């Protein structure tokens, strides 16, 4: 019998380790596929699993931890594993699952991927997101093609093998085509959920197969603090971690979420019942800002423990860490610094009751408020409740800026159009996003061109003036994913000398992320432009309008994008369209702001008297 060798498929220990799907062997139960050239143990894995309850912020925790490791000069690749059977997040109701976050390659994911992109300052792809629906579909399609050579296909080893293959493929390519130093795995839900059990089993197998010092398991748990008792209770956390241990996972680190700092007594209990050394039990209590969490982790030594557990100290770069840490500390200090300016901003959408539905917009505003030292008070307005102009004026009274965000479906659309009209006629800085861009076109057509029947064929297929419609040749021209949906990063050509070009630092082309299927009807473009509406951003080849604006002789800041600028906003690099909006709002209250260094960059000219359209 050959000597044991984990990379030799002829030996019991390594049998099947480097096999590809479709090369099953009836003589063995080993099924641990990996890409060609994969080296076991080269990439390390940090796995974050929740206990007690969902919604504890696993994404914020995992992305903050990944940032600390990335700051040290290592390459990191996060992945979110969801237990639902949907193929992606594109059809999920925002009220149930928050916003749909679109990646650069067009993959529709949940909002946690936005958290990873913002904190890591790193573009992700569909390789960084997996659902149970994707896994099962891949297994069943392979079975139909005869890929398992007559084997009875089972959860173990075939479904778990598919999960391990996904993780190893990500490890091989990372996010820049090179093998990642560390893959951060976030398992959706909590330990004990039926839908994520196969993920947890696959990760147990992965740790076993990758070998010692390959995998670090983090249990993110919750410490109860009932007000009626006046003390923290750890029993629920103990039982939750026990469920994880029953699945064969021994946590290496326990992170305790709580409202207040976790007491030594509670952490001692957690350590005792989880077999985790006390120095690896951390208090992850509430902070004033999620952007303060990375430094709190660093101060607690969590990053050093990860490096020790995975034997990664020799791959770090102290010089790179010093630069990254200084940059982040400068940013985080400004979060808590006194603000020089103050504005109120109205966000007018139909999911206003749930801020998670507009999570990226909320974050983009926050990024701008920090950079511009402005206290931005957001007023959430449900457009489905705005039945006339008077009601709209009352709802928006006193705001210095208006955002009309994206959305699908007819509910609340007329209210959005009224909000556009109020912002345009009252010369209040305005930003229209996706559907908000389309509503600006319809409002201009109705109010300025006098086209009473102007509408979108999405809402009124037989309207008199279909100013927004689904172009018949769109799918053929674009090669669009998701049926007729136009998804992911697309090029936008900017008109020289336009406000759009000014916002993007004088560029004549840029790239933003799209998620829509309806466009401005080409037959109306000339009439709209003749009346003053300027399409300052266009598709490089086809008659697809991608940005609009009003000249400053008509309005101080009236801008719209068919894309979603909020998806590309980062803490250290806020999106230009949001920066322009907030800066224009500040200048409307404080004209002298336009003469400051920041004002000259983001306010194209000082506010002045304007004429109506």
**Structural contact between residues 401 and 429, judged by C-beta atoms closer than 8 angstroms:** yes
Query: Which fold, 338-470+518-602?
Result: Rossmann fold (3.40.50)
**pLDDT, position 484:** 65
User: CA 398 → CA 328, 344, 378, 394, distances in Å?
Assistant: 35, 7, 12, 9
**pLDDT, position 227:** 86
Annotated active-site residue 374? The verdict is no
Q: Rounded distance, CA 445 to CA 422, Å?
A: 15
Q: Among 472, 456, 446, 379, which Cα is nearest to 413's?
A: 456
Backbone CA torsion sign across 526, 532, 533, 536: positive
Domain ranges of the chain: 44-330, 338-470+518-602
Q: Going from the first residue of the chain to its last (613 residues), give the mean pLDDT of each consecutive group of 10, the final group possibly shorter.
A: 41 41 54 88 96 89 96 96 89 77 92 94 95 95 87 90 96 86 95 93 96 96 91 93 95 95 95 95 92 92 95 95 95 93 94 80 96 96 93 96 88 92 97 96 96 91 92 52 73 96 96 92 95 95 93 95 96 96 96 93 66 42
- Selected catalytic residue, list 31, 341, 555, 564: 564
Annotated active-site residue 460? The verdict is no
**Structural contact between residues 158 and 107, judged by C-beta atoms closer than 8 angstroms:** no
Q: Among 28, 27, 17, 14, which Cα is nearest to 4's?
A: 14
CB neighbours of 91 closer than 8 A, spacing ≥ 6? none
- Selected catalytic residue, list 99, 209, 434, 521: 434
CATH (residue range 44-330): 3.40.50.300
Annotated active-site residue 141? The verdict is no
Q: Given the structure tokens 């060798």, which residue do they identify?
A: 5
Whether the domain at 44-330 and the domain at 338-470+518-602 fall into the same CATH topology: yes
- Selected catalytic residue, list 108, 209, 519, 566: 566
Strand-strand pairing, 44-50 and 215-222:
parallel
**pLDDT, position 410:** 79
Residue 576 sits at the vertex; the CA angle it makes with 570 and 578, to the nearest 5 degrees, is: 80
């Amino acid at each position: 019998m050959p000597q044991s060798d984990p990379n030799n498929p002829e030996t019991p220990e390594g049998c099947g380790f480097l096999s590809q799907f479709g090369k099953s062997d009836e003589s063995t139960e080993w099924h641990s596929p990996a890409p060609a050239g994969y080296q076991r143990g080269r990439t390390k894995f940090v796995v974050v699993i929740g206990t007690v309850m969902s919604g504890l912020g696993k994404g914020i925790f995992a992305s903050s931890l990944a940032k600390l490791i990335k700051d040290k000069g290592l390459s990191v690749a996060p992945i979110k594993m969801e237990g639902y059977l949907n193929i992606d997040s594109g059809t999920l109701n925002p009220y149930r699952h928050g916003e749909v976050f679109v990646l650069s390659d067009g993959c529709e994911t949940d909002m946690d991927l936005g958290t990873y992109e913002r904190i890591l300052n790193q573009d992700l792809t569909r390789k960084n997101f997996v659902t149970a629906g994707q896994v099962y579909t891949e297994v069943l399609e392979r079975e139909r093609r005869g890929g398992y050579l007559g084997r009875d296909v089972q959860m173990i080893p075939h479904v778990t093998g598919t999960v391990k293959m996904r993780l190893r493929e990500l490890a091989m390519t990372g996010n820049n085509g090179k093998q990642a130093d560390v893959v951060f795995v976030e398992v959706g839900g909590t330990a004990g959920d039926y839908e994520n059990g196969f993920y947890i089993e696959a990760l147990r197998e992965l740790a076993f197969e990758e070998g010692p010092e390959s995998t670090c398991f983090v249990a993110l748990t919750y410490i109860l603090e009932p007000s009626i008792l006046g003390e923290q209770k750890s029993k629920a956390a103990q039982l939750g971690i026990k469920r994880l241990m029953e699945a064969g996972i021994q946590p290496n680190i326990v992170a305790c979420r709580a409202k207040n700092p976790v007491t030594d007594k509670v952490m001692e209990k957690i350590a005792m019942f989880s077999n985790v050394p006390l120095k690896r039990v951390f208090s992850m209590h509430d902070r004033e800002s999620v952007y303060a969490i990375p430094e709190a982790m660093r101060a607690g030594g969590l990053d050093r423990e990860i490096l020790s557990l995975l034997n990664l100290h020799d791959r770090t770069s102290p010089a790179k860490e010093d630069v990254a840490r200084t940059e982040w500390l400068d940013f985080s200090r400004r979060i808590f610094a006194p603000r020089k300016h103050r504005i109120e901003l109205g966000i007018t959408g139909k999911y206003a009751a749930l801020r998670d539905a507009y999570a990226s917009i909320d974050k983009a505003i926050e990024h701008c408020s920090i950079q511009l030292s402005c206290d931005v008070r957001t007023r959430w307005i449900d457009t489905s409740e705005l039945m006339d102009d008077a009601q709209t004026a009352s709802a928006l009274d006193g705001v210095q800026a208006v955002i009309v965000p994206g959305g699908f479906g007819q509910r609340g659309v007329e209210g959005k159009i009224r909000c556009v009209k109020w912002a345009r006629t009252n010369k209040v800085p305005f930003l229209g996003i996706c559907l908000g861009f389309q509503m600006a076109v319809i409002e201009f057509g109705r109010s300025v061109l006098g086209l009473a029947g102007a509408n979108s064929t999405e809402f009124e297929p037989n309207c008199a003036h279909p100013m927004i419609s689904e172009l018949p040749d769109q799918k053929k021209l674009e090669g669009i994913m998701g049926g007729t949906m136009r998804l992911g990063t697309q090029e936008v050509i900017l008109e020289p000398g336009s406000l759009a070009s000014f916002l993007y630092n004088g560029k004549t082309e840029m790239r933003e992320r799209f998620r829509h299927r309806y466009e401005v009807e080409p037959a109306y473009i000339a009439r709209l432009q003749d009346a003053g509406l300027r399409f300052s951003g266009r598709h490089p080849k086809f008659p697809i309008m991608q940005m609009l604006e009003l000249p400053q002789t008509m309005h101080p800041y009236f801008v719209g994008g068919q894309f979603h600028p909020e998806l590309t906003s980062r803490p250290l690099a806020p999106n230009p369209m949001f920066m322009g909006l907030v800066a224009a709002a500040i200048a409307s209250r404080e004209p002298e702001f336009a003469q400051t260094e920041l004002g000259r960059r983001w306010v194209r000219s000082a506010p002045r008297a304007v004429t109506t359209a």
